[in-house]
């Protein structure tokens, strides 16, 4: 059906999950009002760019998603609805998590010692839990009981004792403060809780302790007792669905986004020609990490958005995920069914001859301050005292932000969809899978 409304031009920067979902939504406006161009600094779409296909021991090809991009019922409702709408198949994933501590890893001349204290199976699918080698029945039983009590305690607290919200000049409570307030034992926090949550957030323990407690407690409460899933055959299937017919400028890194009159000017550098080009659009949607936003969008250059860290990446039968910690971080090692081993944030050196593929990601961290600023940008009505009326807010000047960090919650895939749906609502676009 021909559109009777004037068409508007939209530029989307970034082709991760957030950029691709937003592009799909805007292009599929039922009133066909938008012409969409996408800009990606890489040579390919980025959602699936780090994944690889490997042959398993029987010679069959298997797709290994990097990062894994697992999701769970309860927390990822929008993501699940979108996958269902596109007919993306996903399967329940069972995991086995051996928790280990590495000692002597920095002492010259001494070989590192790894001690496994407990082996947890997701949703207790393995009952009784597996007993680590070297653990006696008695020590194993004591450890299991202790963990059970600590876990019950934190789950009950997450329902009964809510983390403190920001109040006036006092920022929202950090996980460090919350854990102390509910008397969560240090041993449990250090050896079990931080390692398992590090697997979700890919960051050092200290950074995780500084997360807003509400993020962690909310994630735990929503995923408690729910199954985890991964896309069968890999997220390339999601990428294919979302990007069909998309007009993408590859090797084109956005370097500036600014308002010029009633339009938005996007300036980008083409890595192949070396040329810098500019074009005016009616809307520009940035689907990039906050460090990139700060670099290309002057109004947020000095905003305390969120930190980014770089980290190395890390069906039916359970897959082992080894959580091996030292005093400051946890290495996440995934024995993939294909027989490859995926290690994220390695503590011990890896023999270079065994490395098939290395990839770097930026992981966005949260703090009470970045949470406050993010809420002010995206949800000024609920952000409490918001003194600076000159602060740029999402949508001002027809410039928008989407991404896993663009909502009030853990920086995960669900944030990509929630933020894309917010733009859809503002532009009055109906989304077929939205409630």
Q: State which of positions 338-367 bind ligand FAD (CB under 6 A).
A: 344, 361, 363
Q: Which residues of 372-382 are buried (b: 16+ CB within 10 A; e: fewer)?
A: bbbbbbbeeee
Q: State which of positions 38-57 bind ligand FAD (CB under 6 A).
A: 39-42, 46
Record the tokens describing residue 14, joined without a space. Answer: 């970034």
The distance of closest approach from Cβ of residue 58 to ligand FAD in the complex, given in angstroms and rounded to an integer, is 27
14 or 368: CB nearest ligand FAD:
14
33 or 366: CB nearest ligand FAD:
366
Rule CB under 6 A: say whether 264 interacts with ligand FAD: no
Q: Would you say 141 and 121 are in contact if contact means Cβ atoms under 8 Å apart?
A: no
Contact pick of 36, 102, 253, 324 for ligand FAD (by CB under 6 A): 253
Contact pick of 102, 208, 287, 417 for ligand FAD (by CB under 6 A): 287
DSSP string computed for 74-127: TT-HHHHHHHHHHT--EEE--EEEEEEEEESTTSTTS--EEEEEEEEEGGG-SS
Contact pick of 412, 420, 424, 427 for ligand FAD (by CB under 6 A): 412
d(CA 392, CA 386): 12
Rule CB under 6 A: say whether 234 interacts with ligand FAD: no
Rule CB under 6 A: say whether 411 interacts with ligand FAD: yes
46 or 135: CB nearest ligand FAD:
46
100 or 202: CB nearest ligand FAD:
202
Quick check: helix, strand or coil at residue 266?
Answer: strand
122 or 135: CB nearest ligand FAD:
122
Q: Would you say 306 and 374 are in contact if contact means Cβ atoms under 8 Å apart?
A: yes
Rule CB under 6 A: say whether 12 interacts with ligand FAD: no
Q: Which phi and psi (to 5°) does residue 339 adopt?
A: 95, -5
Report which of 81, 361, 342, 65 is spatially closest to residue 230, judged by C-alpha positions: 65
Q: State which of positions 151-210 bind ligand FAD (CB under 6 A).
A: 202
d(CA 51, CA 45): 12
Quick check: helix, strand or coil at residue 181?
Answer: helix
d(CA 333, CA 135): 21
Size of the site for ligand FAD (CB under 6 A): 37
d(CA 284, CA 263): 9
The distance of closest approach from Cβ of residue 430 to ligand FAD in the complex, given in angstroms and rounded to an integer, is 22
Q: State which of positions 295-314 bind ligand FAD (CB under 6 A).
A: 296, 311, 313-314
Rule CB under 6 A: say whether 399 interacts with ligand FAD: no
The distance of closest approach from Cβ of residue 253 to ligand FAD in the complex, given in angstroms and rounded to an integer, is 4
Q: Would you say 278 and 249 are in contact if contact means Cβ atoms under 8 Å apart?
A: no
Rule CB under 6 A: say whether 71 interacts with ligand FAD: yes
In the complex, which residues of this chain contact ligand FAD (CB under 6 A)? 13-19, 39-42, 46, 67-71, 202, 253-254, 287-289, 292, 296, 311, 313-314, 344, 361, 363, 403-404, 411-413, 416
């Amino acid at each position: 059906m021909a559109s009777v409304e004037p068409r508007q031009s939209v530029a989307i920067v970034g082709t991760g999950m957030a950029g691709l979902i937003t592009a799909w939504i805007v292009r599929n406006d039922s009133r066909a009002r938008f012409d969409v161009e996408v800009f990606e600094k890489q040579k390919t779409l980025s959602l699936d760019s780090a994944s690889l296909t490997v042959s398993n021991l029987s010679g069959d090809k298997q797709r290994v998603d990097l990062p894994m991009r697992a999701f769970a019922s309860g927390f990822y409702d929008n993501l699940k609805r979108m996958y269902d709408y596109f007919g993306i198949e996903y399967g329940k994933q069972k995991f086995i998590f051996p928790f280990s501590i590495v000692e002597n890893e920095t002492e010259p001349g001494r070989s590192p010692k790894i001690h496994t204290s407990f082996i947890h199976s997701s949703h207790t699918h393995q009952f009784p839990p597996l007993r680590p080698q070297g653990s006696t029945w008695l020590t194993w039983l004591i450890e299991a009981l202790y963990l059970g009590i600590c876990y019950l305690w934190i789950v009950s607290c997450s329902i009964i004792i809510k983390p403190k919200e920001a109040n006036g000049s006092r920022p929202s409570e950090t996980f460090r403060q919350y854990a102390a307030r509910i008397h969560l034992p240090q041993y449990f926090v250090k050896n079990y809780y931080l390692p398992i949550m590090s697997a979700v957030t890919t960051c050092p323990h200290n950074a995780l302790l500084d997360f807003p407690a509400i993020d962690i407690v909310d994630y735990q409460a929503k995923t408690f007792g729910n199954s985890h899933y991964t896309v069968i055959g890999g997220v390339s299937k999601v990428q294919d669905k979302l990007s069909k017919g998309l007009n993408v400028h590859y090797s084109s890194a956005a370097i500036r986004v600014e308002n010029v009159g009633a339009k938005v000017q996007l300036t980008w550098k083409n890595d192949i020609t070396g040329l810098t080009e500019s074009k005016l659009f009616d809307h520009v949607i940035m689907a990039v990490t906050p460090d990139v936003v700060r670099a290309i969008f002057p109004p947020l250059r000095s905003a305390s958005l969120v930190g980014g860290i770089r980290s190395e990446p890390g069906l039916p039968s359970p897959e082992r995920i080894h959580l091996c910690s030292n005093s400051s971080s946890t290495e996440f090692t995934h024995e993939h069914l294909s027989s490859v081993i995926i290690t994220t944030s390695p503590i011990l050196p890896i023999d270079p001859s065994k490395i098939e593929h290395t990839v770097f990601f930026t992981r966005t961290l949260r703090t009470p301050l970045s949470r406050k600023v993010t809420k002010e940008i995206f949800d000024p009505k609920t952000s409490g005292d918001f003194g600076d009326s000159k602060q740029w807010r999402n949508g001002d000047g027809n410039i928008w932000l989407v991404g896993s960090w663009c909502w009030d919650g853990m920086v995960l895939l669900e944030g990509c969809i929630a933020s894309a749906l917010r733009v859809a609502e503002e532009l009055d676009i109906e989304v077929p899978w939205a409630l």
